[in-house]
Chains A and B, each alone.
Chain A
Amino acid sequence: MKLTIPEEELMYEGTVDCQGCGAGLAMRYALKALGKKTFVVIPACCWSIIAGPFPYSALQVPLYHTAFETAAVVSAGIKAALDMKGIDATVMAWAGDGGTFDIGIQALSAVAERNDDIIYVCYDNEAYMNTGIQRSSATPYKAWTTTTPRKYPKARPKKNIDEILVAHDIPYVATASVAYPEDFIRKMKKAKDIKGTRFIHVLAPCPTGWRSLPEHTIKLARLAVQTNIFPLYEVENGKYKINIKPKNPKPVEEYLKLQGRFRHLTGEDIKEIQEATNKKWKKLLRKEEFF
């Protein structure tokens, strides 16, 4: 049998992530793709815990924990040092949505503008999960979090971080999903061989924060793609390519109804989300057509 996913494990078993954690799975795949010659930088996020307390490490590669807003630039600093020492290796920043969309966006934007030679992966669980499910700018419209209570759910749509990165003219931007590991690994491998800033945005369902069943993590990640809520696409040197185009996209309701964070949605709300999703998808199709 030909394996489609590299066998080598660079992440140890027994990490302390929650049951059904998409972020844990995402790291496992990412390291399988990048291999041993990888330095990992983790700012404050769920992975600060998952990686294990002193004196342990969940990873079999060098790992630097850093402050919340600094994953991108600390990675650039490491890369600069490695260049000076003549060491050829990949430096991967590994941050959550809070560290990417919010507090880390300034340093990330600067790294992208300079086209510093790092891979930046955002594992997106759509809220500040590690601190107890507070809203981030990656939280979807109308979602419940502990700072957007059901009576006043999030009033604004999710920030389109991918287009912000595309606007920096970096060589590679891609979205990915833990439900499509072959696609994710292919993208990580492709990123590895490109020079400059590479940005991968992987949707990582969070049963704890999404109020979903642990066994639904893969199903939800897949439904996010099949409903066009989280399309899989890549932008290489400005050229768009949508990787999965569902022939008959599933209604967003199928995705939303499996998550307690959307339990309060009315029929009207769901209709609104469906329309916004359709509109965003059409826009993406147009981009692929024109760019």
Chain B
Amino acid sequence: MVKKVIYGNHAVSYGARDARAEVIAAYPITPQTQVVELLSEFCASGELKAKFIKVESEHSAMAACVGASAAGARAFTATSSQGLALMHEMLHWASNARHPIVMANINRAMGPPWNIWTDQNDSISQRDTGWLQFYCSTNQEVYDTTLMTFKICENDKVLLPGMLVLDAFVLSHTSEVVDMPLQEEIDEFLPPYRAKYKLDLDDPRAFGGLMFPDWYYELKYKQHTSMEEALDVIEKVGKEFGDRFGRYYGLVEEYRIEEAEIVLIVSGTIAQTSKEAVDILRKEGMKIGLVRMRTFRPFPKEKIRKIASKVNKMIVIDRNISFGSEGAFFTETKACLYNEKDRPMIFGVIIGLGGRDVTVEDIMKIAKKGKEGKFKVNEINWWGVKL
């Protein structure tokens, strides 16, 4: 075991190193650059035995990973914001072709205007590309999730690509202690990738050719059921990781929800801020808890239903906005509860777009306002708009 004080970005690099990624293809973008800088050092020094393809765009980064994965290699990349958007076509390709590629996305606002700070609209916009999405809240979780995502995605029942997401600067450029297990322990947890389906000289086949409507539909069905199977795989891998390394992860993280009447639904680093708010409010006597959404795809519907059945109110805090609708976590949370008998009242709050700071005080005020039922029910509640 090694403990290091490292940036969130470097936690990604160490994670990809320790996962023994075989092909890395990446293009620099603020605030992701440190991820690939350190990885290129690892590759150059031989500390990581991998091919690093320094591509000319994110589109090509994902395309190179697609090629590498098709030939049976463990492929990795990292990007952010505009870069993720440029990859969009190949994100579909990677998932539809069932390549278990792993990518880190540093959540950054989409331009214009240029804004390099944190905001989930980049990754939320890729919701329907068929990628698993994990939202992290500490550097330790970033490192651990990098390792776990490979194991989850490469599982025969899943065979889909996975994206781990971390907030720009708040996590990417913040130093925290990260505990890294010994390589041989990691190798036991994550053995080399043996592709079940790959380009093979001894068994030459064509991949991705024209498919008529008589079978395409079934492939989409399989892609979806694999995503649903992933729910179980994520929990099992999270448990195995915990048994081996002492840190347990599930689809969501529940924080002080015992006997809670009201829960906050949050993701990313806002969750860490919100935990502080919950602690203070609990001291003040409010029966409040928190659910941190680690997994956005597949969406943990059953988990949410179970939690919702025990509380009166839920406040979903989104650092993203689907223009003309509402926050993405808000929509999904409501949707999975619609047919439940005893569903709580749910409020949706938008906050912190483009890196606007979110404080403990903000969350406390939101919680109190929600408890008093003072939020609008059928509309978005914009927090802190100056207009």
- Please give the residue numbers on chain A whose beta carbons come within 8 Å of chain B beta carbons, in ascending order: 36-37, 39, 41, 48-49, 51-54, 56-57, 59-67, 69-70, 73-85, 87, 89, 106-107, 109-110, 113-114, 116
Contact = CB atoms under 8 A, between A and B. Distances in A.
Given A76-B64, A77-B67, A65 B53 contact: no
Nearest to A43: B63
B73 interface: yes
B210 A48 contact: yes
A230 to B, nearest CB: 29
Contact of B64 (A39, A63, A73): A73
Contacts of B68: 77-78, 80-81
Nearest to A36: B201
A84 B63 CA distance: 18
A54 B208 CA distance: 8
Contacts of A49: 210
The 10 closest A-B pairs by CB, nearest first: A77-B67, A81-B73, A81-B71, A57-B206, A110-B56, A65-B208, A74-B67, A77-B64, A80-B51, A70-B63
A154 B232 CA distance: 58
Given A62-B201, A87-B201, A107 B60 contact: yes
A60 B206 CA distance: 9
A206 B217 CA distance: 34
Contacts of A41: 67
Contact of B208 (A56, A64, A106, A113): A64
Contacts of B342: none
Interface string B132-159: 0000000000000000000000000000
Contact of A56 (B60, B66, B89, B206): B206
Nearest to B70: A64
B66 A66 contact: yes
A77 B71 contact: yes
B23 A63 contact: no
Nearest to A107: B60
Contact of B209 (A48, A85, A110): A48
A77 B97 CA distance: 15
A237 B79 CA distance: 36
A85 B69 CA distance: 12
A51 B49 CA distance: 36
B146 to A, nearest CB: 19
Contact of B206 (A51, A67, A74, A77): A51
A66 B23 contact: no
25 contacts: A39-B71, A51-B206, A54-B210, A56-B206, A57-B204, A62-B200, A63-B204, A63-B206, A65-B207, A66-B67, A66-B208, A67-B93, A69-B59, A74-B64, A76-B53, A76-B67, A77-B66, A78-B70, A78-B199, A81-B68, A81-B75, A84-B22, A106-B56, A109-B56, A110-B55
Given A63-B209, A89-B201, A107-B59, 9 more contacts: A39-B199, A52-B209, A61-B201, A77-B64, A77-B65, A80-B53, A83-B51, A107-B60, A110-B57
A57 to B, nearest CB: 4
A77 B75 contact: yes
Contacts of B55: 73, 107, 110
Contacts of B51: 80-81, 83-84
Interface of B: 22-23, 25, 49-51, 53-57, 59-60, 63-73, 75, 89-90, 93, 199-201, 204-212, 215
Contacts of A87: 201
Given A80-B23, A110-B60, A116-B53, A65 B209 contact: yes
Contact of A80 (B49, B73, B212): B73
B210 A64 contact: no
Contact of B50 (A48, A84, A89): A84
Contacts of A56: 206, 209
Contacts of B90: 67, 70
A51 B206 CA distance: 8
A106 B57 contact: yes
A85 B193 CA distance: 11
A60 B204 contact: yes
Contacts of A63: 199, 204-207, 209
Contacts of A75: 67
Contacts of A79: 67
Contact of B60 (A73, A78, A85): A73
A81 B206 contact: no
Given A67-B89, A81-B72, A74 B63 contact: yes
A78 B205 contact: no
Contact of A61 (B54, B204, B210, B212): B204
A79 B49 CA distance: 15
B209 A77 contact: no
Nearest to B199: A62
Of A52, A67, A77, A87, the most chain B CB neighbours within 10 A belong to A77
A41 B206 CA distance: 10
Given A70-B90, A77-B25, A84-B22, A114 B53 contact: yes
B71 A85 contact: yes
Contacts of B65: 77
A240 to B, nearest CB: 27
A64 B201 contact: no
B86 to A, nearest CB: 11
Contacts of A82: 71
A148 B89 CA distance: 29
A116 to B, nearest CB: 7
A194 to B, nearest CB: 20
A62 B205 contact: yes
B205 A73 contact: no
Contacts of A37: 201
B211 A53 contact: yes
Nearest to A41: B67
B327 to A, nearest CB: 31
Contacts of B205: 57, 62-63
